[in-house]
């Protein structure tokens, strides 16, 4: 692993960790190729990301944290918990609101190339606020670019994006969020809210799915 890109970089040749050393739900044991990021490492990295976000924050305007559902909900909850603690302990506390939006761009393990907004409240509420978008993973970057295009006309004071993961892929548009937890190889990852056709969200660690797991849970 390295850190030369402003985040923890997991190299392509990283072999991962054997699932037998971790608490993997029994119903998923044969579906995991290897553990990529143990939950403890993810939680610690989230705490550090919260500090970086907080100390860069503009306290003159309210913060609106927007979770991209469904995959981002666990990371969002953990990140917001840390931000609330930092705010409570600081003289520079700020008003903090939350919102949710749901996008869909995947079928099985492939991006469909079409971004669908299938949930979310009135985007006009972002006007004048410092907007923090919280995402689970940036793949090609096109989904997030589409969301940013949708939000900018509503005139938020600022927009920052925090993503737990960014995938290193030739399909990338070149977009990189403001805050990144880990840069990972071009593998399909599951767990910690990340799914494969709505399965594996209940697994604590971030893992690489096995080929047998793909076959079992294909739509």
Between strands 206-209 and 32-37, the pairing is antiparallel
DSSP 139: S
Alpha carbons 65 and 76: distance in angstroms, whole number: 9
For residues 34 and 16, the answer to whether their CB atoms sit within 8 Å is yes
- Choosing from 78, 136, 139, 195, the catalytic residue is 139
Question: Residues 22-46, buried b or exposed e (16+ Cβ, 10 A)?
Answer: bebeeebeebbbbbbbbbebbeebb
Q: Is 109 a catalytic residue?
A: no
For residues 1 and 41, the answer to whether their CB atoms sit within 8 Å is no
Which residue pairs from 2-10 have beta carbons closer than 8 angstroms and sit at least 24 positions apart in sequence?
A: 5/180, 5/183, 6/180, 7/166, 7/180, 7/181, 7/182, 7/183, 8/45, 8/181, 8/182, 8/183, 9/182, 9/183, 10/36, 10/37, 10/182, 10/183, 10/184, 10/185
Alpha carbons 117 and 50: distance in angstroms, whole number: 27
The structure tokens 């604590």 sit at: 204
Active site residues: 139
């Amino acid at each position: 692993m390295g850190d030369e890109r402003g985040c923890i970089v997991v190299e392509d040749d990283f072999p991962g960790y054997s699932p037998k050393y971790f608490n993997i739900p029994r119903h998923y044991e044969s579906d995991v190729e290897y553990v990529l990021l143990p939950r403890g490492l993810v939680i610690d990295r989230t705490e550090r990301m919260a500090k970086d976000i907080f100390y860069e924050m503009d306290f003159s305007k309210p913060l609106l944290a927007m979770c991209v559902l469904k995959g981002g909900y666990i990371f969002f909850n953990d990140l917001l918990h840390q931000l609330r603690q930092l705010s409570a302990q600081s003289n520079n506390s700020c008003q903090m609101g939350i919102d949710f939006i749901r996008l869909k761009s995947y079928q099985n393990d492939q991006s469909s190339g079409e971004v669908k907004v299938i949930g979310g409240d009135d985007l006009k509420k972002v006007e004048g606020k410092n907007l923090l978008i919280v995402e689970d993973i940036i793949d090609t970057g096109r989904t997030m670019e589409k969301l940013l295009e949708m939000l900018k006309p509503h005139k938020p004071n600022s927009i920052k994006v925090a993503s737990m993961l960014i995938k290193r892929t030739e399909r990338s548009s070149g977009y990189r969020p403001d805050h990144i937890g880990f840069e990972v190889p071009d593998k399909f990852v599951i767990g910690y809210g990340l799914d494969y056709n709505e399965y594996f969200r209940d697994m604590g660690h971030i893992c690489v799915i096995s080929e047998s797991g793909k076959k079992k849970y294909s739509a």
